[in-house]
């Protein structure tokens, strides 16, 4: 290492002049290789008041996978699992917290135990009872029993954060939860709810937080301790948080009392390393200084990494769909929105831009409950597009505003291809490249719809759990117009609203499938609120020596960290 800054850093570290927090943050900033940085951190003294980076106890079986480093592009100011809807927050939750249950392996339909040993529903599925594992403890040493889970979920409901809809669709009040005894938690749902168990396996919301920590950090102004849980956490998960820096990353160490135990070969530490520059992310993976990066590299870099001997590119169909949001009030008519749908360059986007990492579908992925395999898909037909735009009230020479994320080169290319098609039929597309924060604030902001652009490019969504209603309702129902809702195009279709109301609490699978089939036809062939790219093929780049990685289409960009290990050197 010839960089004088790095040499000074190493000298200061080895003479004990830097605390563990300072070693971690400075080393990450200077790009020190992860194995060296980890050894330096644990050799450094603890600063008074700094996060406790206690040495990991010796392994009784002699096996250890060391440190697993996951590359992320940005940190987060809020990973409270009951409040934040961000993908990174749910990934962090997989380290810190357990849920009652989760989806098994790569399945979107099969459930397996976590904190709950078992569960059962009554005949009409209006009451669901979970049996909680005995002798489970939180990271703070307190007991996790049925009352603790109820208290945690009471916070989830009463805090009213973004993921609250995952539970309040089924449980509107904490009074519907009953801690029958220390190991029995009953949910009285009040009506048949066949999807409740699937919702409780969502990566958004069902994390169980320590009620003791909630009480200890609560204030009169913050009765749910949200300020504490934004940047810290106390759960029953396999790893506990040691250090958190918005600009540098997060460090976790294994929780020695984890319910599943530590027999076998597991990782002792998990690092989320913030690396904003894509070239650096790729370099760290190629050199073996990082172990994984989930869906944060361009397709070109993914293609290059497929031939690298150090890594494996794991591709899998996700439950995420991508689309262009169309501003209904500004696009005036169904004909105009159909016209733009016919003008979109579907084949070029699928083959030239996403290079196979996209499958044509409507608003739902093909693995989501309620998906219609015969959903209407628009072809590119420029003559028909022009005819419909003219019928829809526009004139040749009119300009449509198209906003997209300036930091996503794929979306820039999509916009240019779409612009060329629109220009070819006598109209124009005003490409408005903005940073993602601006795009997101415009979509979720309270500005009048008439002041928003005609279209937002590259918007994506996937369901919280395996359910078409949960995918469609947030994006296309009138209740989600304005006020932070995701229906940025102000779409409002009377029949679609009726279908969503009926499907929210369905009891018959046959009835549900028929309703969802009609809903998808309305959103595509009849009255489109969006131009659908299709279903995203997700990818994770992971070291060839990492074992146990199983991607799940609903847990995007996440890992079962406890289940991972590093194969012994050969």
pLDDT tens-place string over residues 218-254: 999 999 999 999 999 999 999 999 999 999 999 999 9
* Residue 382: band (very low, low, confident or very high) from pLDDT cuts 50, 70, 90: very high
Question: Residue 518 domain-assigned?
Answer: yes
With pLDDT > 90 as the criterion, what percentage of the chain qualifies?
82
What was the pLDDT predicted at 62?
Answer: 45
Residue 34 confidence (pLDDT): 58
Same-domain pairing of 122 and 6: no
Mean pLDDT of all residues in the chain? 91
Residue that terminates a domain, selected from 212, 229, 261: 212
Q: Is residue 255 part of a domain?
A: no
The answer to whether the CB of 295 falls within 8 A of the CB of 540 is: yes
Q: Which of 180, 212, 244 is the last residue of a domain?
A: 212
Residue 233 lies in a domain: no
Q: Which residues contact 482 (CB under 8 A, 6 or more apart)?
A: 446, 490
CB atoms within 10 A of CB 66: 16
Count Cβ atoms within 10 A of the Cβ of residue 348 and give its class: 0-12 exposed, 13-18 middle, 19 or more buried: middle
Both 471 and 340 in one domain: the answer is yes
CA atoms within 13 A on the CB side of 61: 9
Residue 143: exposure state from Cβ atoms within 10 A (0-12, 13-18, ≥19): middle
> How many domains would you assign to the chain?
3
Euclidean distance between CA atoms 535 and 318, whole angstroms: 7
333 with 432, same domain? yes
Residues 93-122: what's their mean pLDDT? 97
Instruction: Label residue 436 by pLDDT band (50, 70, 90).
Output: confident
- pLDDT score of 59: 37
Residues 18 and 100 in one domain: no
Q: Stretch 436-457: mean pLDDT, rounded?
A: 92
User: What percentage of the chain's residues is helix, strand, coil (to nearest 5)?
Assistant: 35, 20, 45
Tell me: do 41 and 116 sit in the same domain: no
Q: Does residue 2 sit in the same domain as residue 144?
A: no
Question: Are 13 and 120 contained in the same domain?
Answer: no
Q: Looking at the structure, tell me whether residues 411 and 327 fall in a common domain.
A: yes
Q: pLDDT band for position 415 (50/70/90)?
A: very high
Q: Are 252 and 95 in contact (CB under 8 A)?
A: yes
Is 90 part of any domain? Answer: no
558 belongs to a structural domain: no
Pairing of strands 311-326, 530-543: antiparallel
Residue 241 lies in a domain: no
pLDDT tens digits for range 512-535? 999 999 999 999 999 999 999 999
343: left (phi over 0), alpha (psi -120 to 50) or beta: alpha
pLDDT tens column, 307-352: 999 999 999 999 999 999 999 999 989 999 999 999 999 999 999 9
CB 344 within 8 A of CB 377: no
CATH number at residue 511: 3.10.105.10
Q: What is the pLDDT of residues 23-57, one digit of tens each?
A: 665 565 555 665 566 556 555 654 433 333 333 33
Q: Indicate if 206 and 355 belong to the same structural domain.
A: no
3: Cβ contacts below 8 Å, ≥ 6 apart = 30
Virtual torsion, Cα 243, 246, 248, 253, nearest 10 deg: 20
Question: Could you tell me the residue range of the domain that residue 177 belongs to?
Answer: 96-212
> Could you tell me if 375 and 444 lie in one domain?
yes
Indicate if 45 and 104 belong to the same structural domain. Answer: no
Q: Does position 21 have pLDDT exceeding 70, yes or no?
A: no
* pLDDT of 156 strictly over 70: yes
| 380 part of a folded domain | yes
Q: pLDDT band at 162, cuts 50/70/90? A: confident
- The answer to whether the CB of 488 falls within 8 A of the CB of 457 is no
pLDDT at 26: 57
Does 448 lie in the same domain as 382?
yes
Note whether residue 119 is domain-resident. Answer: yes
**Max mean pLDDT range (16-25, 133-142, 505-514, 560-569):** 133-142
Can you give the CATH number for the domain in which 121 is found? 3.40.190.10
pTM: 0.84
Alpha-carbon distances, residue 234 vs 225, 239, 255 (angstroms): 12, 10, 11
Question: How far is CA 416 from its chain centroid?
Answer: 28
């Amino acid at each position: 290492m010839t960089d004088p800054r790095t040499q000074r850093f190493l000298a200061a570290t080895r003479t004990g002049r830097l605390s563990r927090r300072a070693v971690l943050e400075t080393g990450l900033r200077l790009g020190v290789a992860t194995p060296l940085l980890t050894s330096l951190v644990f050799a450094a003294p603890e600063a008074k008041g700094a996060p406790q980076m206690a040495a990991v106890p010796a392994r009784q079986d002699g096996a250890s996978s060391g440190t697993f480093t996951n590359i992320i592009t940005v940190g987060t100011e809020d990973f409270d699992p009951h409040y934040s809807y961000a993908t990174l927050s749910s990934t962090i939750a997989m380290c810190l917290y357990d849920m009652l249950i989760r989806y098994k392996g790569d399945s979107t339909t099969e459930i397996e135990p976590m904190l709950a040993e078992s569960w059962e529903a009554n005949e009409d599925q209006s009451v669901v009872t979970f049996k909680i594992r005995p002798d489970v403890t939180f990271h703070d040493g307190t007991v996790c029993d049925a009352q603790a889970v109820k208290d945690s979920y009471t916070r989830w409901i009463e805090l009213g954060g973004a993921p609250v809809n995952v539970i309040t669709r089924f449980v509107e009040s904490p009074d519907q939860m009953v801690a029958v005894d220390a190991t029995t938690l009953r949910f009285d749902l009040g009506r048949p709810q066949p999807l409740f168990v699937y919702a409780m396996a969502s990566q958004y919301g069902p994390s169980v937080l320590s009620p003791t920590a909630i009480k200890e950090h609560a204030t009169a102004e913050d009765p749910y301790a949200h300020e504490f849980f934004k940047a810290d956490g106390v759960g029953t998960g396999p790893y506990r948080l040691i250090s958190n820096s918005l600009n540098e990353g997060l460090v976790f160490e294994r929780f020695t009392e984890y319910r599943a135990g530590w027999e076998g070969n597991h990782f002792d530490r998990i690092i989320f390393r913030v690396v904003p520059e894509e070239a650096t992310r790729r370099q760290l993976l190629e050199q073996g200084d990082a172990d994984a990066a989930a869906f944060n590299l361009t397709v070109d870099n993914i293609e290059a990494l497929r031939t690298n001997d150090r890594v494996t590119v794991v591709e899998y169909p996700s439950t995420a769909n991508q689309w262009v949001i169309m501003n209904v009030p500004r696009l005036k008519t169904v004909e105009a929105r159909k016209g733009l749908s016919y003008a979109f360059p579907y084949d070029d986007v699928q083959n030239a831009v996403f290079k196979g990492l996209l499958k044509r579908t409507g608003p739902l992925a093909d693995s989501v409950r309620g998906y219609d395999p015969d959903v209407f898909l628009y072809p590119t037909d420029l003559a028909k597009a022009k005819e419909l735009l003219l019928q829809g009230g526009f004139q040749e020479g009119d300009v449509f505003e198209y906003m997209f994320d300036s930091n996503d080169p794929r979306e820039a290319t999509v916009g240019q291809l779409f612009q060329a098609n629109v220009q070819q039929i006598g109209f124009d597309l005003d490409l408005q490249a903005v940073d993602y924060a601006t795009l997101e604030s415009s979509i979720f902001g309270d500005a009048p719809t008439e002041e928003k652009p005609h279209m937002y490019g590259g918007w994506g969504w996937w369901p919280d759990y395996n359910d078409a209603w949960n995918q469609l309702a947030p994006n296309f129902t009138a209740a989600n117009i304005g006020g932070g809702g995701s229906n940025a195009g102000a779409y409002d279709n009377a029949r679609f609203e009726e279908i969503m109301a009926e499907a929210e609490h369905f009891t018959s699978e046959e009835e549900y499938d028929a309703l969802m089939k009609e809903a998808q036809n309305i959103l595509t062939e009849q009255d489109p609120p969006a131009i659908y790219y299709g279903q995203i093929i997700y990818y994770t780049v992971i070291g060839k020596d990492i074992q146990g990685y199983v991607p799940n289409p609903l847990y995007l960009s996440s890992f079962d960290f406890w289940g991972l290990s590093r194969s012994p050197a050969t």
